[in-house]
Amino acid sequence: MSAHGGKTYRPWEPQRYQQEAHSPAAKLPEGDLVFFLLDTVPQLDLSRFYAPYEQETRGAPPFDPAMMVCLWLYAYCVGVFSSRKVAQACERNLAFMAIVGQGRPDFRTLSDFRKLHLDAFMDVFVQVVRLAGEAGLVKLGNVSTDGTKIQGNASRHKAMSYGYMKKEVERLREEMETLVTQASRQDEAEDAALGSRRGDELPAELARREDRLATIEAAMQRLEVRAEAEAERQRTGKQRRGKPPKPVDETPADKAQSNFTDPELHIMQTNNKGWDYCGNAQASVDGAS
């Protein structure tokens, strides 16, 4: 466990992670943006991020705020704004995995951290982008480190530098506010649609491998039965409405589909000219209806 001001946090040792034989960091280009952030963020004053946790003694140790700051900075720089997408990237994307190591913050933890530290995070974002500009980086991922064309003049004329710096800070804060607003709206939309779910879960019948294999095998059997029934219809000369049948083939075509949730549904064209799983219901009435 790591400690800061007496509070214990979950361990975060990015430099050690990079030295491990099969670490995600070892598979990334040496000049990847993630390494700039991993070297920069621990040098910053992050006391505002640590402060809310210092007096908290209940529950499991939280993730190290330095890791969370680095993670969200990288996410914003590469255009990932959804808490769910960031959580998924921590399991699948080499650069995100290089930041979190063995840690796996879930989307709710990521979302809560961003909301709690919004003002402090915007200040750190401005600091990091300005540091990147000073270090010679023209862009920090998708974020420009210099939004004007007068950088050369600003560096040559001392009288312009202070005003120029103020403009740059204002520009960066405005850009950060835009990104935060975009991220918040995306999280709100996903929360409304998905509730407590991540959004990338398999259906219940496919979640466990044993169930998944059984479900897939059952779907294949249904397709085989349909292919055999179609072949029998063609052999006996029973006509179906629609296009003329293709030559008899008792094996399903590679493109044949079976819906796991409701096997009776079939792909049909809808009123909007698209295609979806549908049933062909037949309605009838009698004289008393």
Residue 34's domain spans which residues?
Answer: 2-194
120 and 237 fall within a common domain: no
pLDDT value, residue 288 = 44
How confident is the model at residue 99, as a pLDDT?
95
Task: Report pLDDT digits (tens) over 163-222.
Answer: 555 676 777 777 777 777 777 788 788 778 877 776 655 566 555 666 767 777 788 888
Residues 219-269: pLDDT tens digits? Answer: 888 888 888 888 888 888 766 566 665 654 556 566 666 555 555 555 556
Q: Is 90 inside any structural domain?
A: yes
Residue 183 lies in a domain: yes
Judge whether 124 and 46 are in contact, CB under 8 Å.
Answer: yes
236 & 265 share domain: yes
pLDDT at residue 80 tops 60: yes
What does the pLDDT read at residue 174?
A: 78
Could you tell me if residue 285 is inside a domain?
A: no
Q: Is residue 142 part of a domain?
A: yes
The domain boundary residue, chosen from 146, 171, 194 = 194
pLDDT at 196: 74
Q: Let me know whether 160 and 228 are in one domain.
A: no
| 166 and 213 together in one domain | no
pLDDT in the model for residue 287 = 42
More confident residue, 28 or 171: 28
pTM comes to 0.62
How many distinct structural domains can be found in the chain? Answer: 2
